[in-house]
Structure 1
Amino acid sequence: MRPMKDDVIPIAPVADVHRTVMEAAASADDAHAALALVVDTEGSTYVRAGAMALFDGQGGQVGWLSGGCLEPEIETRALAAAQAGQVDWMELDTRADEDLLSGSAVGCRGRLLLALLPLAWLPGWTRAVEAWRDGTDLELTLRSVGEQRIALGLGQTDWRLPSTPVPGQVQAGVRLLLKAPPRMVLFGAGPETPWLLPLLRDAGWVITLVERRPRWSPDTGVTPMPDHWEARTPAAGVMQPSVAGADAALVMHHNFELDREALEALAASDIPFIGLLGPRRRRDDLFRLLPAAAVSALGKRLRSPVGLDLGGRGAQAIALSIAAQLQAWHHGRVA
């Protein structure tokens, strides 16, 4: 796969790979599981190239490639590919008029080209996913190396697999860039945390919690377990490797002094999105105690109060408003 050149085969970035599918594939029973990978799309489709769904052979499914109408057919073919130990290519075309009212009746005029991958033939997949979750972008490549052979690469790992006849558009090669999941550091836990952490994790974020107060320790079961937990002060937490390179930070201790400490520490960081929980008056009070240089450094990075105005009150509504703003910001919909 290394000989592929950028000027020969353009690389298509995949900005929103589902973390849950990648991790489920890494821990699946390889002998019976298959990964359905969207290689190409045309027209109106539920997903784009790079989308994935896992079928585990025991009735389990992680990820969706349609609104549910196409999944039974995809699962049947995917599990057959796993049993046969080969890549199978599947085209789903619902662009004709009769597809609106017959068959699966999806109601969308689009075409999907899927590569159905037998996980038992992909040793090293788990290591590649771990590197991806830890912040490494992965290049996923497919190309024909014979009439019924396919070369598949993921990061630094390569495989040669038997295949059903390779579609023409895959002969020269397909390249997808699987961007590493976005990283969030949460300074302080509180009533919103049990609602917010699952929302962010399901949306693909890798989460570090900086919290040393015993009441909010994940060990108590009150706070959900994040990907990384730093039982440190905010100033010490900013210095940890799990925080380095974070895409976003939330400051929500429900404690004035701890929030002040976190904001001062974050002012010296390069984190582009910093959200502060609480009303504007509280932010202004915090600013009066921060050095002028820290206030200036926070600048337009600080969103205060954090969260979109969706209406509602209480922990659930606050968590939803924050998750919605982060989703919109991560995809370039809001500044």
Structure 2
Amino acid sequence: MEDSNGSGRGPTVQDVAARAGVSISAVSRAFTPGASISKKTKERVFDAANALGYTPNLVARSLATHRSGIVGLVMGDIRNPYYPEVVDALSRRLATHGFRTMLTTVWGDITVDDVAPSLVQSRVDGAIIASIADADRLGELLYKNGAAVMLFNRSAATSDKLSSVRCENVEGGRSVANYLLDKGFSRLAYIAGVEHIYTTQEREAGFVGRLMERGVQLFAREHGDYTYKGGFDAALRLATADTRPEAIFCANDITAIGAIDGVRAAGLRVPEDISIVGFDDIELASWPPYGLTTVRQDKAALIESCVDVLVEQIRSGQRTRHIQLVPVSIVERTSVR
């Protein structure tokens, strides 16, 4: 079977250039993320490539440009509904800049040491790391291998080189403390997430710190593991205690969703018997069976900043450290009386 050029071989960059009426270098620029080329010329090249069935040789381009066009997304447990939303949005925004994504997960028995070799060998141009243990260690390794690195919604605990964008976790925790105290609650509990994850530490520090500033001790603390089951079990324990809390602040929304069901399983009502607040504002939080009052992260702002800074670092070759905090706000629904 002959190809469209009649030679029996696949279409080449020369074929695309001839069909589009442009130079070979223009075709190369059209398929290179961030290269200087007019929109009109780029469209002509893509139209010609589609008509011929041409796809660029990514390996050859990588060798020529010293870029792979790949950004690694390194996530923890993506069963948390927050992170599939984030992965989708990050991938879409990176695609607008011409980058493909390589999703890698680090959770359970999969460690940083398991995934680091594939990221390095794939010669990723950049990496976005979120919600994993040893984020600093992986980030430093990729940084030393020439990749631009952004920590998403966490800060570097030990590295002075890695850039990060995160929401105001501490301020979010403080705002929940003020919100519940101002409503007259005094017996307040906290259901934590994964203990070593930076977000749960910051949210708890803000919440408990503000309670103490206002002369209130944390009534109870449970471990929720950032999961529905963790939230359900923790809330069930709190709801069946001899003296139960009046309100519970959960480290994230999926924990809070589980907590609502846990309180109901104990034969109690939300919010009449126990009020519940989450953190993230995932889509499920707004569903009528839950009506979760929560701390909203501005995911759009987090994602826009994260991707745009990373892309600029990749294209410029500069690795100037960038730290950004994105404000949060409380969204009131029906889970607090």
Normalised-by-shorter TM-score class: 0.3 to 0.5
Please give the TM-score of this superposition, normalised by the length of structure 2.
0.37
Q: Which has the larger radius of gyration?
A: 2
**Larger strand percent:** 1
Please give the TM-score of this superposition, normalised by the length of structure 1.
0.38
**Larger helix percent:** 2
